[in-house]
Amino acid sequence: MRMTGTGRKPGVTLAAVACGLFVLGANAAWAADAANGKKVFEVCTGCHDGTARAVGPNLRGVYGRQSGSLADYKYSPAMKRSNLVWDDKNLHEYIANPRAKVKASNMSFRGVRDDKSIDDLVEFLKDYK
């Protein structure tokens, strides 16, 4: 079976790039970019969609929250014991390599490799409520 509608993609991508450049121009050039972070976040929403049947805990309001602290989510013992506050540093390290930061964490995710993407993602999470 062939996918249809792929012909539209280049145009959409170009528009997104142009839009991104505009946003970049409007703000300080290399500051963390929450709009880009929102796009990076799409790799997380498969497990963190904010619903009760999601694989992962709800990340709304996660910035500044104590790790493993949502009453209605069944965390791994490792996450419950981790005793972290999800600030810039801890989020950055966890997103870069979840199992290095919280050993035996249930989050089966290889992590995001690129530092700039992680900074943007953390910037986005600050306002994700």
102 near 78, Cβ under 8 Å? yes
Bridge-partner residues for 66, per DSSP? 85
- Report, in Å, the least distance between residue 107 CB and ligand HEC: 4
Bridge-partner residues for 119, per DSSP? none
C-beta closer to ligand HEC: residue 24 or 70: 70
Binding of ligand HEC by 107 (CB under 6 A): yes
97 near 113, Cβ under 8 Å? no
Binding of ligand HEC by 101 (CB under 6 A): no
Binding of ligand HEC by 50 (CB under 6 A): no
Binding of ligand HEC by 79 (CB under 6 A): yes
User: Which helix (H) or strand (E) covers residue 101, if one does?
Assistant: helix 98-101
Q: ∠ CA 8-12-118 to the nearest 5 degrees?
A: 135
- Report, in Å, the least distance between residue 48 CB and ligand HEC: 5
Which residues of this chain interact with ligand HEC, rule CB under 6 A? 43-44, 46-48, 55-57, 59, 62, 67-68, 70, 75-76, 78-79, 86, 94-95, 105-109, 112, 121
